[in-house]
Chains A and B, each alone.
Chain A
């Protein structure tokens, strides 16, 4: 089975901090995604990557950046954390096109104080 592993299950940070969320997948998937999930708003795509060093903005990229230096690892960076970035963050990966996430990590519940 594909395993998508997110580095932290729960994280508490302060406003203005630079925050790193790490995600690793072990099945050689080409595509990786970062979503955030908020009540009533559903899953919203922040960024996705279809290859190493390639990235595309999703629906809500403002305040975020990503890094994909190796195929298996996709990092989400909150440049200067703000309270409106408190959310559940989900990493996902997939092999096929058209693009869509097939396997999700367990999520990171991030609180910005």
Chain B
């Protein structure tokens, strides 16, 4: 079983809709959870991170963490074509840090 699992997609949403990206992880002791965005041909860039159960909002982005169910999600409100990218989930456990393989998102104008 992989440490971090994401649906590879592609996920397509119309412009203005909410995009929902999900990630599950296998280690119950995981402590930190990160979302990165990676445009084609570019390096990943950190969007946000979350440590505690519940929601964390940053502009149009909301990270949701449910440790009991071992999943973390990223919601993108009012999706824009510029949000089209691959979104990487990453999970930290102690000194270990694992990335998922990413979900490809396309926002259709």
Contacts and interface: CB of A to CB of B under 8 A. Distances in A.
B46 interface: yes
Contacts of A41: 101
A88 to B, nearest CB: 9
A99 B95 contact: yes
Given A42-B101, A100-B49, 12 more contacts: A41-B101, A42-B100, A43-B88, A90-B43, A90-B44, A98-B31, A99-B92, A101-B44, A101-B46, A104-B45, A105-B43, A106-B42
A101 B92 CA distance: 10
A112 interface: no
Contacts of B49: 100
Contacts of A101: 44, 46, 97
B87 interface: no
B34 A100 contact: yes
A98 B95 contact: yes
**Interface size class of chain A, counting residues whose CB lies under 8 Å from the partner chain:** 10 to 19
23 contacts: A41-B101, A42-B99, A42-B100, A42-B101, A42-B102, A43-B44, A43-B88, A43-B90, A43-B99, A44-B99, A45-B97, A90-B43, A98-B92, A98-B93, A99-B97, A100-B32, A100-B49, A100-B90, A103-B46, A104-B45, A106-B42, A106-B43, A107-B43
Closest 10 CB pairs of A and B: A104-B43, A42-B101, A43-B99, A98-B92, A98-B32, A42-B99, A100-B92, A100-B97, A102-B46, A107-B43
A73 to B, nearest CB: 18
A98 B93 CA distance: 8
Contacts of B59: none
A28 interface: no
Contacts of B32: 98, 100
A43 B102 CA distance: 9
